[in-house]
Amino acid sequence: MQIAGIITEYNPLHSGHVHLMEQVRRRLGPECGVICVMSGDFVQRGDFALVGKYARAEAAVRCGADLVIELGLPWAVSSAERFADGGVQTLLATGVVTHLAFGSECGDAGALMHVAQVLESGEFSRRLRARLCDGVSFAAARQAAAAELTADAALLGQPNNVLGIEYCRSILRHGAELTVLTLPREGAPHDGALAEGTHPSASAIRALVEERKEEQALSWMAPAMAQAYRQEAAAGRAPVLGQRCERAILARLRTMTEAEYAALDEGREGLYRRLYEAGHTAATVEQVLETAKTKRYAYARLRRMVLWAYLGLTPGDCPPAPPYLRPLAANGTGKRLLAQMRSCAQVPVLTRAGAVRGMSARAQALFALESRAADLYSLAYPDLRAAQGGRAWRDGPVLL
């Protein structure tokens, strides 16, 4: 049986995401299984997910996925490179996935793999260091350095291509036997505006929610996602918006030492000093970001650093590989895959939270971070009466 893995956020899930799953089964056959590795309560752009992970995972299964496994927190809220590597390693750890499927602007797996091979070369690393000395952003330096080595460097100018290239780099690094299946992305571009007759972008849907145009937003979600959203909203748990925790985030930033800021700066480039000054003077999170930002540093990187500060994370908290697999939702096929994984997965399958106490120290440390993050996420619920702590220890996968 062929099993396709999809690395995703579903924040929120819409017709474009459903289309990808449908196309995967067209390519690989209707009996193909689909395992999604999905970000949990926090997402890669350094923000709170609009709806909690179990609700999004259930919607994914109702829309075509067979099994949804959580992408561990340290990978979910990291750079594209680490996000991709965490997702690939999670799929590999299942022991059952045969294909990695994703959408890209180019739809050409060979071209994406070629660029990945260039980026993995020692010559590229040398040229990248030289370009970074020019003071440009990392993305600009990367594309310029790659252009000196391949005519396909222009692929690095489009976000879904970039993520696809990072997936390919991870496959190369781990010597993985995963077949890459990329399909041309259809509909609105990443962060693009909504347009009738085409697949939406998740960011445009989130913008409608933030503008309190909830019914419009729901009309663009996949029906199962809209239903999950309504159920969470009725329970006081949606929409989850980071600005509800703004005072808590600012309090954390104002009480951190310079050394604590320095621990967030993976590149050791001095960015933490700008963030330290802004964190102790700005009156809003947006002011913190605007004050610290320069043309060299991506806005998303700063957002992630602020989120890591709020969650009490540091780069050192990211294990070299996922120490367990945490299922979030499954249907009948997914349950059979879980049973298979119990004998062939590279790491334990964690369906009951209490079982983590019998796992490795690394697994217990990661789960403790996940539990704390879940408690901090719930503080952004519309109704604080729904924000009881300790849910990570009580919640289990949704079985359909």
In a domain, 154, yes or no: yes
Residue 146 phi, psi dihedral angles, 5° rounding: -65, -35
CATH of the domain at 173: 3.40.50.620
- Helix 138-147 × helix 122-132 angle, to 10°: 130
> From first to last of its 400 residues, what are the pLDDT tens digits of the chain?
899 999 999 999 999 999 999 999 999 999 999 999 999 999 999 999 999 999 999 999 999 999 999 999 999 999 999 999 999 999 999 999 999 999 999 999 999 999 999 999 999 999 999 998 887 888 999 999 999 999 999 999 999 999 999 999 999 999 999 999 999 988 666 666 677 778 999 999 999 999 999 999 999 999 999 999 999 999 999 999 999 999 999 999 999 999 999 999 876 678 899 999 999 999 999 999 999 998 777 789 999 999 999 999 998 899 999 999 999 999 999 999 999 999 999 999 999 999 999 999 999 999 999 999 999 999 999 999 999 999 999 999 999 9
Q: Which of 242, 273, 303 is the last residue of a domain?
A: 242
Q: CA 208 to CA 254: how far, in whole Å? A: 31
In a domain, 305, yes or no: yes
Same domain, 14 and 159: yes
Same domain, 237 and 273: no
Same domain, 230 and 248: no
Query: Domain containing 263: what range?
Result: 244-317
Same domain, 205 and 312: no
Q: Which residues contact 329 (CB under 8 A, 6 or more apart)?
A: 54, 57, 58, 60, 61, 65, 67, 68, 397, 398, 399, 400
Same domain, 201 and 279: no
Q: Which residues contact 29 (CB under 8 A, 6 or more apart)?
A: 2
The CA R_g of the chain, rounded to the nearest whole Å, is 20
Structure tokens at 28: 């690989």
SS3 breakdown of the chain: % helix, strand, coil, rounded to 5?
Answer: 55, 10, 35
In a domain, 186, yes or no: yes
Q: Which of 242, 257, 278 is the last residue of a domain?
A: 242
SS (H, E, C) 363-386: HHHHHHHHHHHHHHHHCCCCCHHH
Q: CA 182 to CA 6: how far, in whole Å? A: 10
Q: Which of 295, 317, 339 is the last residue of a domain?
A: 317
Same domain, 166 and 285: no
Structural domain count of the chain: 2
In a domain, 334, yes or no: no
In a domain, 393, yes or no: no
Three-state DSSP class for residue 93: helix
